Amino acid sequence: TNAHVVEGGDDATVVLSDRRRLPARIVGTDVPHDIAVLSIDAGGSPPPIALGRSADVRVGDPVLAIGSPLGLSGTVTGGIVSALNREVRLGGGDRQTAVQTDASINPGNSGGPLVNTRGEVIGVNTAIATLSRSRGPGSISGNIGIGFAIPVDRAADQAKRLIR
């Protein structure tokens, strides 16, 4: 998952697709890369999802973003890879490269997988571009259809480092 998802917490709960809620331990976080590792009891865990390779991702590839945007669990949205190596600010404000997609990513999608058509994780959903401007007494902001995911190879490397 993302470091910003578990920020300030000592424990977490993992909700599975069958709605089971499993207690999780936060193994570690890497704020600059916005990655966190959670541990759940192996007896209750589902089989692991396959990881793709960042080198195999191409602009135009169809993708699905999985998560619970706005608390709507089990949501899947579709789109394409719009750009690779897009520089964005993550975690502690450092600029990192990310996979850009037009698959809808909203608050609650963070930490969920971005998967290819083979069901392989190619990224970890982490951020959206928003448009914000003042109009009258209030302001207007919202998702403009540009989302970002941490490339799977970097996410896996950071996760392995946190587990050690």
pTM of the model: 0.87
Q: What is the pLDDT of residues 117-152, one digit of tens each?
A: 999 999 999 988 876 655 555 555 556 779 999 999
- Spatial distance between the Cα atoms of 98 and 83, rounded to a whole number of angstroms: 8
Contact 154, 54 (CB under 8 A): yes
Q: Is 33 among the residues known to form the active site?
A: no
- Spatial distance between the Cα atoms of 55 and 155, rounded to a whole number of angstroms: 14
Among 30, 33, 34, 104, the active-site one is: 34
Alpha-carbon distances, residue 53 vs 39, 57, 116 (angstroms): 23, 7, 10
- Spatial distance between the Cα atoms of 41 and 134, rounded to a whole number of angstroms: 48
Among 54, 82, 104, 110, the active-site one is: 110
Q: State the Cα angle at 96 between 73 and 105, rounded to 5°.
A: 20
Q: Would you give the DSSP letter of residue 51? A: B
Q: What is the pLDDT of residues 41-92, one digit of tens each?
A: 888 788 889 999 999 999 999 999 998 888 888 889 999 999 999 998 876 6
Q: Is 4 among the residues known to form the active site?
A: yes
- Spatial distance between the Cα atoms of 48 and 45, rounded to a whole number of angstroms: 8
- Spatial distance between the Cα atoms of 120 and 95, rounded to a whole number of angstroms: 26
